[in-house]
Amino acid sequence: MTSLEPFTTMLDLEAGAIEPERKLTERRLGDLDGLFLEPVPAERAGEPAYTVSEIPAPVSGSNLLSSTTVLQPGRVGREFHMTKGHYHEVRDRAEIYVTLAGEGRLVMGTEDGRHQVEPMRRGTVNYVAGRWAHRSVNVGGEPLIFYAVYVADAGYDYGTIEEEGFPVVVLAGDSGPEVVPNPRYRK
Ligand code: S6P
Ligand code: ZN
């Protein structure tokens, strides 16, 4: 078993920054090409999409990892900016999202084709149950910022979502965000 000494980190509750910053992952729109219904235009491939800043801990089923995600607003076609989305590699690992700023939708799906969409806004605490794939979608005009806590050995399975997608997508409609069936969902 891997154990740690107690430690403290500062989280900027407005901007989501973690101080000191240890592990920052940057995703650009080009990294998400193939996940939106429409291709990402070549001239937008370098546009920042989101950052994930992690508080590291040794990978084990008894430690907790946590991170903040800052997801920029915008759309590709009618589809709102979103994270890649993943199942946890260790399928039953659960996770909690605490939203600090912005307005989003948490799109979740199971391997047997069920889906659920939950709101994200300052103060929401979303419980992502084990075995549910999850993707965050920024439906507002400001960055969507949330803090996530998860079992350290959860890992990431991005491939299943890249191949199959989620059962639903979130599009900009005439009177706000619309959750509609994903025409490219492959089960
Ligand atoms: C990790 C947790 C989040 C996401 C982050 C980016 O289990 O769900 O920290 O990694 O929001 O999303 P994605 O799908 O690109 O990893
Ligand atoms: Zn996760």
Using the atom order of ligand 1, give the atom closest to the CA of residue 135: 14
CA of 3 from ligand 2 middle (Å) equals 22
The answer to whether residue 16 sits within a structural domain is yes
What residues make up the domain containing 122? 10-181
Average pLDDT over residues 91-95: 98
Look over the chain and give the mean of its residue pLDDT values, rounded to a whole number. Answer: 97
The one-character DSSP state at 164 is H
Contact 39, 32 (CB under 8 A): no
Question: Using CA atoms, how far apart are residues 98 and 9, in angstroms rounded to an integer?
Answer: 16
Average pLDDT over residues 4-26: 95
Average pLDDT over residues 3-31: 95
The answer to whether residue 92 sits within a structural domain is yes
Ligand 1 shell residues, CB under 6 Å? 52, 67, 69, 83-86, 95, 134, 136, 148, 150, 154, 156
Q: Is the pLDDT of residue 1 over 60?
A: no
Pocket test for ligand 1, best of 52, 89, 97, 108 (most atoms within 8 A of CB): 52
The answer to whether residue 121 sits within a structural domain is yes
pLDDT of residue 187: 81
The answer to whether residue 41 sits within a structural domain is yes
Using pLDDT thresholds of 50, 70 and 90, give the confidence band for residue 53. very high
The residue contributing the CA closest to ligand 1 atom 6 is 83
CA of 88 from ligand 2 middle (Å) equals 6
Pocket test for ligand 1, best of 35, 83, 108, 131 (most atoms within 8 A of CB): 83
Contact 99, 120 (CB under 8 A): yes
pLDDT of residue 2: 57
The residue contributing the CA closest to ligand 1 atom 7 is 150
pLDDT of residue 78: 98
Question: Using CA atoms, how far apart are residues 45 and 29, in angstroms rounded to an integer?
Answer: 5
Average pLDDT over residues 71-92: 98
Global pTM? 0.97
The answer to whether residue 171 sits within a structural domain is yes
Q: What is the CATH number of the domain that holds 162?
A: 2.60.120.10
The answer to whether residue 103 sits within a structural domain is yes
Domains of the chain: total = 1
The answer to whether residue 79 sits within a structural domain is yes
Average pLDDT over residues 40-68: 97
CA of 174 from ligand 2 middle (Å) equals 31
The answer to whether residue 2 sits within a structural domain is no
Summarised one tens digit per residue, pLDDT across range 94-118 is 999 999 999 999 999 999 999 999 9
pLDDT of residue 73: 98
